């Protein structure tokens, strides 16, 4: 039995099913990211775990106990939302102490635990400041301190870094990950940012239309996407739509060899841009480079082939040998291509 079990969790608003038979087992200490496009049901799922939204059907179990009907304030979970909701008229220390006071923790212990929590988020000397005297990143860390100080069995984070600029967000992601590892708090975080999910999560749960589309550790998810949606939501991908017959994938006038075992029928062929090489011999496809863009650590090429435009990325580890207008051959290791059943476009 996992630490947290979500079983067939379902939420309907009227006729609208926003979370549909959602199942997830979370181990103690795991960091889970719920990832997916806007409106796919991430926040509603998190709020059902928090006890802020009552499920229409299904069950939430924490440490073997059914908490589906338990009120939010009885679950003792640490919750951080995008709007940090700090009390503006209270100092940082008072904000962090609030949850402990509500629980009737003795004041000596409160002082000690607040100091510990502020130290964990590197705000030791900020206790006497007011929220308005802090930067966005510092406020965000106060919100985290406020959640961890109650030593919750589970921390629930809903886009906690949504209001930060890109650089600060990246720094905070690394800090949050280190903090979570140090404390070992089981954490579920909602994000629509795939890079954030990959940075933080032990396991990514990719959602679409209220259901789990794919879940796994970030590397598995990236390397073995189970369909067009997964491959393009988590990273970039070239997705060719065609059909498989007798170990050949046919698209337009082109036939690509496929590894044995692929089932005959309509299929999508997925190949990541960085898995494609330029070659002068044994090309799988011929192409013309129509654009080349420099992105610092890599080059992005847009190439035109007989079956459409594709993208190729090459690491910036030496001066580029291919330029706009060049005729090139494209080659990739067939083991890096994924043949998946066709999905209806989203």
| Interface residues toward ligand ATP, by CB under 6 A | 13, 18, 36, 38-44, 190, 192
Closer by beta carbon to ligand ATP, 18 or else 271: 18
* Residue 40 beta carbon to ligand ATP: minimum distance, rounded to whole angstroms: 4
- Where do runs of H (alpha helix) occur along 103-227? 107-120, 136-148, 166-183, 194-200, 218-223
Q: At what angle do helices 107-120 and 136-148 cross, to 10 degrees?
A: 130
* Residue 230 beta carbon to ligand ATP: minimum distance, rounded to whole angstroms: 16
- What's the token pair of residue 256? 């690509």
* Residue 198 beta carbon to ligand ATP: minimum distance, rounded to whole angstroms: 17
* Residue 114 beta carbon to ligand ATP: minimum distance, rounded to whole angstroms: 31
* Residue 24 beta carbon to ligand ATP: minimum distance, rounded to whole angstroms: 15
Q: DSSP letter at 273?
A: G
* Residue 37 beta carbon to ligand ATP: minimum distance, rounded to whole angstroms: 7
In whole angstroms, how far apart are CA 225 and each of 74, 114, 234, 271, 303?
Answer: 39, 43, 8, 10, 23
* Residue 39 beta carbon to ligand ATP: minimum distance, rounded to whole angstroms: 4
Contacts of 9 (CB under 8 A, 6+ apart): 19, 21, 22, 23, 45, 48, 55, 57, 58, 59, 60
Closer by beta carbon to ligand ATP, 149 or else 156: 156
Cα 182–chain centre separation: 21
Closer by beta carbon to ligand ATP, 127 or else 160: 160
CB atoms within 10 A of CB 122: 13
Residue 259 Rama label (left phi>0; alpha psi -120 to 50; beta): beta
By DSSP bridging, strand 154-158 and strand 285-294 are unpaired
By DSSP bridging, strand 203-208 and strand 31-35 are parallel
Beta carbons of 249 and 262 less than 8 angstroms apart: yes
List of E strands, the chain: 4-13, 16-26, 31-35, 57-62, 65-66, 78-81, 154-158, 186-191, 203-208, 211-216, 238-245, 248-251, 254-257, 265-271, 277-279, 285-294, 298-305, 308-315, 327-331, 338-341
Closer by beta carbon to ligand ATP, 40 or else 251: 40
Closer by beta carbon to ligand ATP, 42 or else 139: 42
Closer by beta carbon to ligand ATP, 141 or else 208: 208
Closer by beta carbon to ligand ATP, 41 or else 216: 41
* Residue 159 beta carbon to ligand ATP: minimum distance, rounded to whole angstroms: 7
* Residue 191 beta carbon to ligand ATP: minimum distance, rounded to whole angstroms: 8
Closer by beta carbon to ligand ATP, 42 or else 75: 42
Closer by beta carbon to ligand ATP, 13 or else 87: 13
């Amino acid at each position: 039995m996992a630490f947290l079990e979500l079983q067939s969790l379902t939420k309907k608003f009227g006729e609208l099913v926003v979370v549909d038979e959602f199942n997830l087992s979370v181990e103690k200490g795991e960091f889970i990211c719920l990832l997916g496009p806007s409106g796919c049901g991430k926040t509603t799922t998190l709020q059902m775990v928090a006890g802020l939204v009552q499920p229409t059907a299904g069950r939430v179990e924490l440490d073997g106990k059914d908490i589906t009907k338990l009120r939010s304030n009885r679950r003792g979970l640490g919750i951080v939302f995008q709007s940090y909701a700090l009390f503006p008229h209270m100092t940082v220390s008072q904000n962090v102490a609030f949850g402990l006071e509500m629980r009737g923790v003795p004041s000596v212990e409160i002082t000690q635990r607040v100091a510990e929590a502020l130290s964990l988020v590197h705000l030791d000397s900020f206790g006497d400041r007011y929220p308005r005297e802090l930067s966005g990143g510092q406020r965000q860390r106060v919100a985290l301190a406020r959640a961890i100080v109650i030593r919750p069995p589970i921390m629930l984070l809903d886009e906690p870094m949504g209001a930060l600029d890109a650089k600060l967000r990246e720094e905070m992601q690394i800090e949050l990950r280190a903090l979570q590892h140090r404390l070992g708090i089981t954490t579920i975080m909602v994000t629509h940012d795939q890079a954030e999910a990959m940075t933080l999560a032990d396991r990514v749960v990719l959602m679409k239309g209220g259901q789990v589309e794919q879940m796994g550790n970030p590397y598995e998810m990236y390397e073995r996407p189970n369909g067009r949606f997964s491959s393009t939501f988590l990273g970039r991908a070239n997705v060719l739509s065609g059909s498989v017959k007798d170990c050949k994938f046919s698209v337009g006038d082109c036939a690509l060899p496929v590894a044995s075992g692929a089932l005959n029928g309509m299929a999508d062929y997925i190949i990541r841009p960085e898995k494609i090489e330029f070659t002068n011999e044994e090309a799988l496809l011929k192409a013309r480079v129509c654009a080349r863009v420099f992105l610092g650590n890599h080059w992005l090429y847009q190439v035109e082939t007989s079956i459409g435009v594709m993208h190729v990325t090459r690491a910036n580890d030496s001066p580029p040998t291919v330029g706009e207008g060049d005729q090139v051959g494209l080659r990739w290791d067939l083991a890096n291509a994924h043949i998946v059943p066709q999905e209806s476009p989203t």
